[in-house]
Amino acid sequence: MKVLHRRGLLAVGAASALAVTGIVVLPAVNASAASGCRVTYTANSWPGGFTGTITITNLGDAVNGWTLGFTFPDAGQRVGQGWSATYSQSGSAVTARSLDYNGALATGASTSIGFNGTWTASNPSPSTFTLNGVTCSGTVTNSPTPSRTPSTSPSVSTSPSTPTGGGTPLAANGQLHVCGVNLCNQNNKAIQLRGMSTHGIQWFASCVNTTSVAALADDWKADLLRIAMYVQEQGYETNPAGFTNQVNQYVDLAESKGLYAIIDFHTLTPGDPNYNLDRAKTFFAAVSARNANKKNVIYEIANEPNGVTWQQIKNYAEQVIPVIRANDPDAVVIVGTRGWSSLGVSDGADENEIVASPVNATNIMYAFHFYAASHKDNYRTVVSRAAGRLPLFVTEFGTVSATGGGAVDLSSSAAWLDLLDSKKISYANWTYSDANESSAAFKPGTCAAGSYTNSSSLSESGAWVRGRIRTADNF
């Protein structure tokens, strides 16, 4: 059993904000084009980069599928990672095409899309938009908006919402997607998932069963189960078909209790994910085809890359993600980062390398891992800043040291989760197991006994984390 972690981050300073609002009236066209729309464009800039958010309101006849076009005023402005649309750019002209879930716009309906971009000389706002090929005849008026904290996207509501369609996290939120730096639900509300990660399923399969998953959902009130499938260390490479089936069974267990499931391709040793590129393609082709119609699946394609450059990780991601997208175009994908998913800081770099060269894919997030007894105020300060630049998901954290053992640091753990809660950053705790290490949620022997709801079975870490997860969700 190996749990090797080193964490850290660095971010840029505060962003500036500019909002642009335009009302456009279009001439009568065929049924596929809108007869009027309202566009709101907001850009939050930092040196060399920006996030653009666009809200489209249909003022004309119902539209089933749309294409939005606009032109950047400065030749140095470029679209990078985008969300809620498919983006292309030719010269300064940008085209954004709707996805399956937001293509239908009734009269008066709105949808929000956005992207991260780069600029060189200046970052002026587009002045003209087109909808379904019809040039918008109205003018766009620039008007400044108040500055915002970097962690909250202006296109995303962070106010509480009432779960609908049932009492489980899955019923309340449905298909998730990335919007801005947030994880959002089917209603485009920013949400935070909180849950647990299994230990290596090759060692602790007895801890993942109908009873334990029911306890996680009903007693812990969790939203999420992360399925840690090691690739090496007696894992997937020894029995690809067997481990693929095991992962699928756990996805079904999570779904049956209304939980989201992260399928974690748990690469650790060796640290170069490209070593397992062919295995990853085979595995993700299988699980994405099998689970394509499920709304609870999130794919984590490389747990903790280490000893490699960001470019090597990016190259790996850009080969694996299309394999998933060929079967499951809507699911969120999480990309591991350099230095044991520390955004590169453990290697002396920082998240700027990702911002400057993001993975060429949509609907993705970037993994960050920490262990509270080893990573404290300096790490938290950096995460607080970086959360405004990249969509982050803490797919693994511990209340103990980076070895997975040692004393539980409740003070640092509380500071971490307070930060993640304030930024709506989702998280999974290591581990929902009875491993003989202080990071485990249960005391040794619990899984054999099957007494997951007995408070005396919880470790110090497990009791504390359960208390945090049980607090009410803000969906």
Residue positions annotated with a catalytic role: 304, 396
Question: By the 8 A CB rule, do 7 and 346 touch?
Answer: yes
Question: By the 8 A CB rule, do 235 and 274 touch?
Answer: no
Q: Closest Cα to residue 176, out of 249, 290, 261? A: 261
Phi, psi of 21 (to 5 degrees): -125, 135
Question: By the 8 A CB rule, do 243 and 278 touch?
Answer: no
Q: Closest Cα to residue 65, out of 3, 132, 150, 141? A: 132
> What is the distance between the alpha carbons of residues 12 and 48, in angstroms, rounded to a whole number?
11
The two tokens of residue 73 are 């005023």
Q: Tell whether the torsion through CA atoms of 308, 312, 313 and 316 is positive or negative.
A: negative
* Burial of residue 241 (number of CB atoms within 10 Å: 0-12, 13-18, 19+): exposed
Alpha helices in 103-209 (DSSP H): 169-173
Question: By the 8 A CB rule, do 224 and 260 touch?
Answer: yes
Q: From residue 169, how far is each of 33, 224, 470 by CA, in Å?
A: 37, 8, 13
Query: 99: helix, coil or strand?
Result: coil
